Structure 1
Amino acid sequence: MLQGAYSGLMLQLFRAAIYTILLADLPHPAHAELRAVLVGVSDYLTLDADLKGPANDVRLMAEALITRGIPATEITALTSDPTDLPAGVSIASPTKSAIILALNAMASRAQTGDTLVFYFSGHGAQAPDLTGDEGGGYDELLLPADAAGWKGNVGMVDNALLDDELQAWAQPLLTRGIKLVGLIDACHSDTAFRNLPGQGGVARGLGPQDLNIPDTIASAASAPNAPPLRGDFVFLYSSQSDQRSFEYPVGETQVWQGAFTRQLAATLRDSPTAPWAQVLAATAAAMQQGSTAQMPAGEGPMLDQNLFGTAAPQHWPIQNGNLQAGLLQGLNPGDQLSVYASAEGGAALLQVTLTDVAARSARLLALPANAAWAKLDQAAPPPPLQLAMPQLADPDDNSDYSKWRAALAPYVMKGGAADLSPIFTQGQIALAGPDGALDPAGPGSTPRIQAQQGENPTLAVERVLAAATHSLHLRRMFASLAGRNLTAHPALQLDWQRKATTDCVHHSRALAFDPAKGVAPCDQLWLGFQNVSGRDLDVSILYFNTDFSIAPIWPKQGLSNRLAAGESGRAGFQIDANAPPADEDILILAVPVEPGAARVDLTLLVDPATNRSFSSKPAPLLMIRQAVRIRPAQQGDE
């Protein structure tokens, strides 16, 4: 039985070991405030790396945020060219010290429930991580106006703004119940050129040679990851980790702007109630229609909320008559959807019922030419769970099971194979597998149906069987979609370790271990995984408990789960202190994706409301099953 989940992975800008555990609900003031710090670096004081668009981006973003409800007096613009900014906006130079001062000033005024926005337009970069907190990789940098080259005596790029510094600024705010929005129009790709041949674009990223970082500088050995951010935040990035972000001259005016900022501002204006995930999807869709060779990315537990923190329904784009979502996004044949012309919604063009649903797409027929988005109106009902005829474990058991028999009766199969086998034992109802084996892993290892406070047998059976239906069908969906590995080479290389304990407080050092050999309550299991497939993978890890509950292990709360070729991640969890003997499962799921494609996060399917059926259609899903045997401590330490 899984107790808790922890994870860590070196990601990009803002994302050094950023893995989220949501805070408990905090009290909110009667009126939450919105504030923003906007940075646009067009002119670099030392680096030969001037840009033309960031100052224009800041003007555009200030106007867009004002239309979304942020007062001009609550916006600070740090820009190389402060002309034509909206009246009331505070102005400063985009140097590092001024940026830090503006962020701290915004933080000092923030109250619980407020939302703070940090926007940056300019160059990004990478530098060797000399502290080791990035897992032996690189620090991600934003380059203020006074950034210079490598400073050997301190081991960093002079006046760069490090991801570690932003994380240290962010965590105290999140702890206070303040929400953070990060919008980054920059990149860090290691590239020696900034021009986009034939398109007149300029990339917003500098390579080591641009910053005079010596080739002999190596990253430090891996050290413990920085503490994870905890709280409500969302970060949107102008491009994927392996792409560059560009600026272009726009239209007849030839005013330069960042491709991401231009479309993002338009989406924010046109879709005032859309959640950030939808804002990102609409922005990406608009960018892909032009010549921009970049795909925005986003992560954070606030992806399903808008700027004001209000949850909003999920929409999916339609391209060439195909809905860009399918079984892996929780859609199924029989679902009813409304189709719209815009991401914001408005009046529906028509309603459709899904019939042809693949892993990541669904075919829609007879659509009007302006059909561009769809949302789920009503889910198809799940297929009914079938139970075998209840059996009595002990013929001499004289307990009164009449109410439980009545509660189970509607689910007893009328024909075909049973999903579960109810067994009456010692006054309780155990739900065994189709083979009817009771407690095969030891006493109590078969899940029981127990009425919670306020429940009668009918409600208790309904609750447990709903969870069982979801768990069983989710397993079957993954199994039916999983493809065969014809090369015999796994896409993921796994490294399991265990930290044992005898008192649930002190744990041993991590040692290589096979979870199928038996773990004890309170033991910690850690999984390192590396993408060795040669292409990008979206990785999701789910823990299936014996009581039919499902726990997402990785990724956490909407954060990025994409691993480029060669990249690795690490996730951990602790077995519940009161876990009974059980044979449980972990599913490691990897979906191959094309560069720049939308992320596939299968942890979203843990919510029963988003997954209701399954299909046998083949699809490129790679699945690794890891058995976890939970046994008493003296056996688990063998």
Structure 2
Amino acid sequence: MTAKKALCVGINKFKNLPSAALQGCVNDADDMEKLLKTLLGFQAQDIVKLTDNKATKANIIKNLKEMVEGAKSGKYSYLVFSMSSHGTQVPDLSGDEPDRADEAFCPHDLAQKGNVWDPQHIITDDELRDLFIQLPENVLLEVYLDTCHSGTGLKAIDLLLDRKPRYLPPPSMEAFQEVDGKRQRGLNKALLENGITHHILWAACRADQTSADASIGGGWHGAFTYFFCKEMNASKNKLARSAVLEKVRGDLQSGNYTQTPQLECEATVRDKNWLKE
């Protein structure tokens, strides 16, 4: 049996930005944990769940590093990382592409330093790339990001009372001008550029869209995570990933959500379901 390990992160409350609170991210982490147990063969001890004040950058990175080290030592062959929170953008921190903005994800301890987000308290796509490219080729990584890539796709419908975009703009005019109009490479392309193809990335929306924190099904959830779990449970995990994606896209369209989820992986994996891993 495949040795598994998962990290499920959900952040509604932000220590230094109470006005940025969300409502559905902790429920997302709970839903993903339940899905992993009921359909994907994970045991309780295989899953670490970090929510709100436990989901600091240091704690998230610590657990991801432990997962990667376990995979490198042969302990794990299937890793899952899900994160529901705000997304944001920062100027390219690595300096490898001056015309690019880095995609970034907000931990509980998100903080500003000067005119920009403090690098010690934000998680960038470069950091995740540098961590995940260490994985051996026989290890499958599946990442679920229910965050916004960018605020450029914001529409009036995203601001209805029953939904809120999971996006925080840069913290100052200077920082906004640093990233305005620059392209985002994104985590998947960052991995592909390093020849890493044994991974699967689920993104709640396109790079130019926002994902919704929504009142749906009697509670608050990420719209993508809610419909993903709904379709997985309905199919009893008998559908290929590509088929699940199409059903989730249909659900979101029917609910008048503006986001289009993305599934990025090799075609052979795209057309398999999880039972065949």
TM-score normalised by the chain length of structure 2 = 0.84
Paired residues of 1:96 and 1:159 also in contact (CA < 8 A): yes
Counterparts of 1:450-469 in structure 2, within 5 Å, are none
Alignment equivalent of 1:105, drawn from 47, 57, 66: 66
Distance across 2 between alignment mates of 1:176 and 1:300:
14
Q: What is residue 287 of structure 1 aligned with on the other side? A: 252
Q: Using CA pairs under 8 Å that are at least 6 residues apart, name the structure with larger relative contact order, 1 or 2.
A: 2
Distance across 1 between alignment mates of 2:44 and 2:166:
27
Counterparts of 1:414-433 in structure 2, within 5 Å, are none
For the pair 1:64 / 2:35, whether they are aligned, the reply is yes
After superposition, the Cα gap between the structure-2 partners of 1:201 and 1:39, relative to the gap in structure 1 and judged at 3 Å, is: same
Distance across 2 between alignment mates of 1:179 and 1:212:
39
Distance across 2 between alignment mates of 1:197 and 1:94:
26
Alignment equivalent of 1:276, drawn from 241, 247, 250: 241
Alignment equivalent of 2:274, drawn from 298, 307, 326: 307
Distance across 1 between alignment mates of 2:157 and 2:168:
12
Paired residues of 1:196 and 1:203 also in contact (CA < 8 A): yes
Q: What is residue 119 of structure 1 aligned with on the other side? A: 82
Q: What is residue 182 of structure 1 aligned with on the other side? A: 143
Q: Cα offset for 1:270? A: 2.4
Counterparts of 1:347-496 in structure 2, within 5 Å, are none
Alpha-carbon RMSD across the aligned residues, in angstroms, is: 2.7
Q: What is residue 125 of structure 2 aligned with on the other side? A: 163
For the pair 1:212 / 2:172, whether they are aligned, the reply is yes
Q: Cα offset for 1:268? A: 2.0
Q: Cα offset for 1:117? A: 0.4
Alignment equivalent of 1:263, drawn from 224, 227, 231: 227
For the pair 1:238 / 2:204, whether they are aligned, the reply is yes
Distance across 1 between alignment mates of 2:56 and 2:146:
17
Distance across 1 between alignment mates of 2:134 and 2:257:
37
Q: What is residue 247 of structure 1 aligned with on the other side? A: 213
Paired residues of 1:150 and 1:213 also in contact (CA < 8 A): no
For the pair 1:51 / 2:18, whether they are aligned, the reply is no
Distance across 1 between alignment mates of 2:156 and 2:109:
20
Paired residues of 2:91 and 2:175 also in contact (CA < 8 A): no
Deviations along 1:552-602, one digit per CA (max 9) or x if unpaired, are xxxxxxxxxxxxxxxxxxxxxxxxxxxxxxxxxxxxxxxxxxxxxxxxxxx
Counterparts of 1:423-572 in structure 2, within 5 Å, are none
- Which amino acid is 2:174 matched to? P
Q: Cα offset for 1:206? A: 1.1
Deviations along 1:210-236, one digit per CA (max 9) or x if unpaired, are x2261586479xxxx885242411101
User: Aligned with 1:38: secondary structure?
Assistant: strand
For the pair 1:296 / 2:261, whether they are aligned, the reply is yes
User: Aligned with 1:133: secondary structure?
Assistant: coil
Q: Cα offset for 1:201? A: 0.7
User: Aligned with 2:274: secondary structure?
Assistant: coil
User: Aligned with 1:196: secondary structure?
Assistant: helix
Distance across 2 between alignment mates of 1:52 and 1:274:
30
Q: Cα offset for 1:127? A: 1.1
Q: How many equivalent residue pairs?
A: 259
For the pair 1:201 / 2:163, whether they are aligned, the reply is yes
Distance across 1 between alignment mates of 2:194 and 2:245:
24
After superposition, the Cα gap between the structure-2 partners of 1:147 and 1:294, relative to the gap in structure 1 and judged at 3 Å, is: same
Alignment equivalent of 1:75, drawn from 47, 70, 75: 47
Q: Cα offset for 1:298? A: 1.3
Q: What is residue 385 of structure 1 aligned with on the other side? A: none
- Which amino acid is 2:201 matched to? F
Deviations along 1:325-378, one digit per CA (max 9) or x if unpaired, are xxxxxxxxxxxxxxxxxxxxxxxxxxxxxxxxxxxxxxxxxxxxxxxxxxxxxx
Deviations along 1:469-524, one digit per CA (max 9) or x if unpaired, are xxxxxxxxxxxxxxxxxxxxxxxxxxxxxxxxxxxxxxxxxxxxxxxxxxxxxxxx
Instruction: Tell me which structure has the larger Cα radius of gyration.
Output: 1
Distance across 2 between alignment mates of 1:155 and 1:64:
33
Mark the runs of 5 or more structure 1 residues left unpaired by the alignment: 1-30, 81-91, 311-638
After superposition, the Cα gap between the structure-2 partners of 1:144 and 1:257, relative to the gap in structure 1 and judged at 3 Å, is: same
Q: What is residue 187 of structure 2 aligned with on the other side? A: none
Paired residues of 1:187 and 1:239 also in contact (CA < 8 A): yes
Distance across 1 between alignment mates of 2:176 and 2:239:
48
Distance across 1 between alignment mates of 2:143 and 2:109:
22
After superposition, the Cα gap between the structure-2 partners of 1:156 and 1:95, relative to the gap in structure 1 and judged at 3 Å, is: closer
User: Aligned with 1:140: secondary structure?
Assistant: strand
- Which amino acid is 1:164 matched to? D
- Which amino acid is 1:57 matched to? D
Q: Cα offset for 1:132? A: 2.9
For the pair 1:129 / 2:92, whether they are aligned, the reply is yes
After superposition, the Cα gap between the structure-2 partners of 1:150 and 1:214, relative to the gap in structure 1 and judged at 3 Å, is: farther
Distance across 1 between alignment mates of 2:165 and 2:83:
15
Q: Cα offset for 1:165? A: 0.7
For the pair 1:41 / 2:3, whether they are aligned, the reply is no
- Which amino acid is 1:35 matched to? K
- Which amino acid is 2:250 matched to? A
- Which amino acid is 2:223 matched to? A
Which of the two has greater helix per residue? 2
Q: Cα offset for 1:72? A: 1.6
Alignment equivalent of 1:148, drawn from 98, 106, 111: 111
Paired residues of 1:188 and 1:206 also in contact (CA < 8 A): no
Q: Cα offset for 1:107? A: 2.2
Distance across 2 between alignment mates of 1:199 and 1:217:
29
Deviations along 1:520-549, one digit per CA (max 9) or x if unpaired, are xxxxxxxxxxxxxxxxxxxxxxxxxxxxxx
- Which amino acid is 1:295 matched to? T
Q: Cα offset for 1:114? A: 1.3
Paired residues of 1:64 and 1:266 also in contact (CA < 8 A): no
- Which amino acid is 2:107 matched to? P
Distance across 2 between alignment mates of 1:194 and 1:72:
41
Distance across 2 between alignment mates of 1:235 and 1:108:
20
